[in-house]
Amino acid sequence: MCLVAYIDRLGADLEVRTPIAARPAGHAEGWDWPVHQTGRDDWSEWHFQRSIENTWEHNAGEIAAAIQRRKADL
């Protein structure tokens, strides 16, 4: 049995797989804004880029916590 996580920058879908079947095991959802960077590399965009990176880090923490909780249930 193993736990599989389908991860993107917004969250993750968790699935438990066995040799016989796979079944849903939950979902982790993080913040949904701001997530996408702009293509500009201007000094005035620094604050916006930093908030995007903070969102990514927060969501990664939410995903890790969900995986840890689900792993403890297995």
In tens digits, what is the pLDDT along the chain, a chain of 74 residues?
Answer: 899 999 998 999 999 999 999 999 999 999 888 877 777 667 667 778 888 899 999 999 999 999 999 988 87
Q: What domain range includes position 8?
A: 2-73
24 closest CA partner among 36, 32, 41, 12: 12
Q: Which residues pair with 6 in a beta bridge?
A: 13
Q: Give the pLDDT score at 48.
A: 81
Per the listing, tokens 């939950």 go with 26
Q: Give the pLDDT score at 33.
A: 85
Cα(17)–Cα(15) distance, integer angstroms: 6
What is this structure's pTM? 0.83
How many structural domains compose the chain?
A: 1
The Cα-based distances of 70 to 10, 17, 20, 21, 37 in angstroms read 18, 13, 20, 18, 31
